[in-house]
A and B are shown apart, each in its own frame.
Chain A
Amino acid sequence: MNGDSLRVTLGRVGRRLREDAKTRNGKLFLAGATLSLLAPAILTSYALEIFMQLFIVVLLVGSWIFIAGYFGIFTFAHAALYGVGAYAAVLLAGELGVPPLLTIFVGGLAAVVFCLPIAYPVLRLQGAYVGMVTLAYAEIIYRGTIIFRDVTGGPTGYSGFPALFGGDRLVMYYFVLVTVAAFMLLQYGLLVNRFGLVARAIRESEDAAQMLGNNVSRYKLTGFVIGSGIAGIAGALQAYTILIMSPPVLELTQMIEIMAMGIIGGPRTLGGAVFGGLAVFGLAEVLRGLGEIRLIIWGAMLVIVTLYFPDGIAESTLNLKSRLKELVDR
């Protein structure tokens, strides 16, 4: 990409940002971002921790939507790659003494490396088959963390790694906020440009996209690798936020959680990650005392959203009249 096309690309991102800022969701996101910047002045340190985790969840779900929602690659390996990023980061920092800040990006690279073995079948297969093969791969990685317990600390977890920024949680907060915002913007920038158009074309019809002269495999591979790498970065951030890393982070339940957030929030748009994160993770925090009841609610939400709001919260209006009309027309 030369200087001119880069300028065109960035110009388009700026234009789309200004346009999107005027929509309902755009206004909500702007308000949310402003609040997040000011949050440390208002909130308790416990609430800040929750906010940090929420940001990370948004990035994680956003990168899943990037792959699953835009390309139609319904991957189940996302939680596993998120875990790989987390383990890579903390093990490098804890065992080899690599500076923690650097390990976050190494975590992303590790997730990229680990997504490559499954990339070939993911490019070849379609629809539910992609889900199956990635589910199997995720289970292999998950069981691997238990089998190699000498390295990963096994089920009890691994916590012997240094904190980021010497344990200063305020700096950590802004670091998480800025990193998440930067990677969300990166994905946004890609999606409003040609890359995103091709991605959606692939989702709608792979053959048609190929016929129009797009190298479908290369686009799919790029999308899968970028999304998986971002999951690894989210994992590394998460490990430094919660200060312990254990296998349940990459278990199937975690994947179901990511999926639930993506689908409930809105799998067709990056903004769905924010709504899904808030709805599911926020609710989980509010209902923390209720234990399994929140899982009942998630299960029910997955069913209801799939049946009645296939585009998730982000793209549903609360216009009751039109909703009722739709329901009657069905």
Chain B
Amino acid sequence: MVSGSLVAQQVVNGLLFGGQLALIAVGLTLIWGVARVLNFAHGALFMIGGYVGFFGLQWTGNLVVAIVLATVVVFVVGWLIESVFVEPLRGREEFDIASMVITLGLAIFVENTLLVGLGSQRRTFPQLLDAVWNVGGITISAQRLLIFLISVTALGALFAVIFYTKLGLAVRAVSQDSDTALLMGVRPERVYAFTFGGSAALAGLAGVLLAPLYTIYPSVGWSPFLLAFIVVMVGGLGSVRGTLVAALALAVIRSITTIWVASETAMVVLFVIMVAVLVVAPDGIGGWLEA
């Protein structure tokens, strides 16, 4: 019999993990919702964030500067990916597949270039905070709580931009109907580039924030990418609200399942949930939440 406190502990762990997951997954869902790109390079952007943070910390010695630097650099990388590689594909009949393939190609290219250039060794990133608290029998690592809080803040900032600024209005307009938005004087290609940059910046921020937990190596992005991918599918591609709920729910499910089974099997459980959701409701739970 599993004790209640173990389950409580796993629920707390799951919720904290859910915050991290949401940070990665929201970027993925955002760029699909606005620009219809399933970005297979999202994991690579996460990885780039980790490397930029690592070298930024080496050069400046300041953790905050390193985190900001990683976010900004990956924002620029995302902007470039959209305007150089994805924009020329727009207008093709199979744009969703072509953009999927090209981002996959970029991910493989970048990952292996770094592998050759910097080697496959895992670089360790210093812990952000060392403290561990014990609240009513449940241990909470201060670092994970901090990451959770930064994630929530970053997502809150994103929501604020999307719902309360003119830029956000343009983003929402383009995501609904890019032709009409163009008639209203919005340039869709700029909005796409900005959204891709913003989505990438979230991945980059996640990459540097999670570097103390994941370490940094060229293929580090695939596992968070696959997790975020499941979250986005379950939440409903393009639905930010659904993605948030799905991130928390799946993270909790994952940590509770690992009480009984290996993490490999827990992943299978998540994939099965994803397939089941896609069969029942291809638009994910976001469709119900927004209805």
CB contact between B105 and one of A121, A127, A303 (< 8 Å): that residue: A303
Asked if residues A136 and B116 are in contact (CB atoms below 8 Å), the reply is no
Report chain A residues within 8 Å CB of B267.
Answer: 139, 143
CB contact between A121 and one of B100, B222, B226, B279 (< 8 Å): that residue: B279
Taking A136-B230, A140-B268 as contacts, is the C-beta distance between A307 and B85 under 8 angstroms? yes
Once the chains are docked, how many angstroms separate the CA of A135 from the CA of B85? 23
Once the chains are docked, how many angstroms separate the CA of A143 from the CA of B265? 7
Taking A129-B282, A306-B89, A310-B98 as contacts, is the C-beta distance between A140 and B271 under 8 angstroms? yes
Asked if residues A74 and B88 are in contact (CB atoms below 8 Å), the reply is no
Interface residues of B toward A: which range? 35 or more
Asked if residues B107 and A299 are in contact (CB atoms below 8 Å), the reply is yes
CB contact between A303 and one of B38, B85, B112, B113 (< 8 Å): that residue: B85
Decide if B274 is an interface residue (CB 8 Å cutoff): yes
Interface residues of A toward B: which range? 35 or more
Asked if residues A303 and B271 are in contact (CB atoms below 8 Å), the reply is no
Report chain A residues within 8 Å CB of B274.
Answer: 133, 136
Asked if residues A147 and B264 are in contact (CB atoms below 8 Å), the reply is yes
Decide if B106 is an interface residue (CB 8 Å cutoff): yes
A window 271-298: CB within 8 A of B: 291-293, 295-296, 298
Decide if A137 is an interface residue (CB 8 Å cutoff): yes
Decide if A131 is an interface residue (CB 8 Å cutoff): yes
Report chain B residues within 8 Å CB of A128.
Answer: 38, 96-97, 100
Proximity bits, A117-146, B CB within 8 Å = 1, else 0 = 010110011011101110111011001101
Asked if residues A296 and B101 are in contact (CB atoms below 8 Å), the reply is no
Decide if B6 is an interface residue (CB 8 Å cutoff): no
Proximity bits, B90-129, A CB within 8 Å = 1, else 0 = 0010101110111011111111110110000000000000
Taking A121-B275, A147-B262 as contacts, is the C-beta distance between A136 and B233 under 8 angstroms? yes
Report chain B residues within 8 Å CB of A121.
Answer: 275, 278-279
Taking A121-B279, A306-B98 as contacts, is the C-beta distance between A147 and B265 under 8 angstroms? yes
Decide if A314 is an interface residue (CB 8 Å cutoff): no
Report chain B residues within 8 Å CB of A306.
Answer: 89, 98, 101-102, 105
18 sample A-B contacts, Cβ–Cβ < 8 Å, listed by A number: A120-B279, A127-B96, A139-B268, A139-B271, A143-B271, A259-B101, A263-B101, A291-B116, A292-B116, A293-B112, A296-B112, A296-B113, A299-B109, A302-B101, A306-B101, A306-B105, A307-B102, A310-B98
Known: A72-B94, A133-B274, A299-B110. 19 other contacts (CB 8 A): A120-B279, A125-B278, A128-B96, A129-B237, A131-B38, A132-B278, A133-B278, A140-B272, A146-B264, A147-B262, A260-B105, A296-B109, A298-B105, A299-B105, A299-B111, A302-B105, A306-B105, A307-B85, A310-B92
